[in-house]
């Protein structure tokens, strides 16, 4: 009997790969222990274990495993390392994360897009079937979290959505491709017990004109403010284009959610991006008060207010 270390370096949600590795080793009657690093340096006495696995989600934490003596994987460490099939298709060991109440998994892998800021096509390739929801669904949980990157691009999307609907559980989706959304898809999605919001993305200002032609589906099948759109900023757009997307979404009773690319930290307008995200990403503010009012409530320092307000007024 071996003692196995699982080192979750920085996962924000339960780490699926480590949960499946745990199942594999528990099936072999090995003892398994999880250590969560939460993105911080963590002291581990490796002598206490016979074997170990570490997973890094974010590249900025890669150095935290430079001395790890065993297997290291995860998107933040390698885009090539994947689980072998005999582990990939095991039921995740949800007991590793006792506070979690979701079944978590991928129905599909990959994506048909090739966005320059995204590693999914590099790591996973074109979209393809991964598994049925029943492979990772814990019957004791009332909710399911689907991590697919572009489910609507999959040829059998309808079969996948119907399967989710028939579980009668609450479903949380990560992201849908609004460019692909059809009325048939919108109709079926509206009949699924979706938790919180329907998530889409408006990454490119050039898509506004096309999106505006499809907003009738949002109004027909989804309630006001039920759709949330990720808005990528600080990467390859101007502040004017960022504000344009935010205002477009608000005018259509959709929630903008600011996704700050790491490059924003190098921008002279970093504080504006921080304020824009603080306003947009808190529903109670973005739905009820203008950006200017939010700034005046947020700060007492007039210079700080004027900085973001000036950029807003110049570009709105």
Could you report the per-residue pLDDT of 202-238, keeping only the tens digit for each?
999 999 999 999 999 999 999 999 999 999 999 999 9
Find tokens 């529903």 and name the residue. Answer: 283
Give the residue numbers spanning the domain of 149. 101-169+183-192
**Distance of alpha carbon 210 from alpha carbon 167, whole angstroms:** 34
Q: Same domain, yes or no, for 206 and 277?
A: yes
Sign of CA dihedral 281, 286, 291, 293: negative
Measure Cα distances from 309 to 181, 248, 261, 267, 287 in Å: 35, 19, 21, 17, 18
| Whole-number Å distance between alpha carbons of 311 and 269 | 9
- The answer to whether 125 and 134 have CB atoms below 8 angstroms apart is no
pLDDT category at 263 given cuts 50, 70, 90 is very high
Q: 92 lies in a domain?
A: no
H-helix segments, 167-238: 183-190, 208-212, 215-221
Residue 89 has pLDDT above 90, yes or no: yes
Label residue 80 by pLDDT band (50, 70, 90).
Answer: confident
Confidence of residue 282 (pLDDT cuts 50, 70, 90): very high
- β strands within 77-142, DSSP E: 102-105, 108-109, 128-129
Contact 46/69 with Cβ under 8 angstroms? yes
Q: Is residue 7 part of a domain?
A: yes
How many domains does one find in the chain? 3
Q: Using 50, 70 and 90 to split pLDDT, how confident is the model at 182?
A: very high
Within this chain, do residues 224 and 314 fall inside the same structural domain, yes or no?
Answer: yes
Do 123 and 203 lie in a common domain? Answer: no
Tell me, yes or no, whether 120 and 151 share the same domain: yes
Q: Are residues 117 and 216 in the same domain?
A: no
The CATH number given to whatever domain includes residue 53 is: 3.40.50
So what's the pLDDT on residue 312? 97
- Is residue 174 one of the residues assigned to a domain? no
Average the pLDDT over 286-315 and give the result. Answer: 96
Helix (H, G, I), strand (E, B) or coil at 229: strand
Query: Could you tell me if residue 159 is inside a domain?
Result: yes
- Please report whether residue 226 resides in a domain: yes
Are 146 and 123 in a shared domain? yes
Q: Is residue 90 in some structural domain?
A: no
Residues 106 and 69 placed together within one structural domain of the fold: no
32-64 pLDDT, tens digit per residue, is 999 999 999 999 999 999 999 999 999 999 999
119 contacts 77 by C-beta, under 8 angstroms: no
Joined tokens for residue 16: 């699926």
Q: Within this chain, do residues 239 and 302 fall inside the same structural domain, yes or no? A: yes
Domain stops at, among 84, 119, 145: 84
pLDDT over 70 percentage in the chain? 100
Co-location of 297 and 248 in the same domain: yes
Residues 70 and 150 occupy one common structural domain: no
* pTM for this model (two decimals): 0.91
Length of the chain: 316
Q: Are 256 and 286 a contacting pair, CB within 8 Å?
A: yes
Compute, in degrees rounded to 10, the torsion defined by CA atoms 23, 24, 25, 27.
Answer: 80
Enumerate the H helices of 101-195 as residue ranges. 120-124, 157-166, 183-190
Residue at 89 is within a domain = no
CA 2 to chain centre: 34
In a domain, 178, yes or no: no
Pair 116, 149 in one domain: yes
Three-state SS sequence of 281-301: CCHHHHCCCCHHHHHHHHCCC
Task: Looking at the structure, tell me whether residues 124 and 53 fall in a common domain.
Answer: no
Q: Using CA atoms in the order 76, 78, 81, 87, what is the torsion angle rounded to 10 degrees?
A: -10
Last residue of a domain, one of 192, 227, 244: 192
Q: Is 292 exposed, middle or buried (0-12, 13-18, 19+ CB in 10 A)?
A: middle
Query: In the listed set 21, 56, 84, which residue is the last one of a domain according to the structure?
Result: 84
């Amino acid at each position: 009997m071996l003692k196995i270390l699982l080192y979750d370096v920085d996962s924000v949600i339960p780490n699926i790969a480590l949960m499946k590795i745990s199942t594999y080793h528990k099936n072999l009657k090995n003892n398994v222990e999880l250590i969560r690093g939460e993105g911080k340096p963590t002291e581990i006495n490796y002598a206490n274990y016979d074997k170990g696995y570490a997973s890094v989600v974010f590249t900025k934490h890669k150095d935290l495993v430079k001395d790890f003596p065993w297997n290291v994987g995860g998107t933040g460490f390698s885009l090539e390392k994947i689980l072998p099939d005999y582990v990939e298709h095991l039921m995740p060991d949800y007991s590793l994360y006792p506070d979690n109440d979701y079944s978590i998994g991928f129905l599909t892998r990959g994506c048909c897009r090739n966005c320059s800021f995204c590693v999914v096509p590099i790591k996973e390739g074109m979209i393809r079937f991964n598994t049925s929801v029943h492979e990772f669904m814990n019957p004791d949980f009332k909710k399911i979290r689907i991590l697919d990157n572009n489910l609507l691009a999959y040829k059998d999307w309808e079969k996948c959505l119907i399967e989710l609907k028939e579980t009668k559980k609450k479903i949380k989706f990560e992201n849908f491709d609004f460019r692909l959304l059809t009325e048939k898809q919108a109709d079926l999605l509206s009949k699924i017990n979706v938790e919180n919001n329907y998530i889409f993305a408006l990454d490119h200002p050039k898509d506004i004109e096309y999106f505006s032609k499809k907003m009738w589906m949002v109004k027909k099948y989804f309630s006001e403010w039920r759709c949330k759109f990720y808005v990528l900023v600080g990467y390859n757009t101007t502040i004017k284009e960022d504000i344009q997307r935010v205002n477009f979404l608000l005018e259509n009773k959709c929630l903008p959610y600011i996704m700050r690319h790491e490059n924003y930290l190098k921008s002279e307008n970093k504080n504006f991006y921080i304020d824009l995200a603080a306003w947009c990403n808190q529903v109670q503010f973005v739905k009820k008060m203008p950006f200017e009012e939010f700034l005046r409530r947020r700060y007492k320092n007039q210079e700080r207010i004027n900085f973001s307000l000036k950029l807003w007024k110049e570009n709105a």
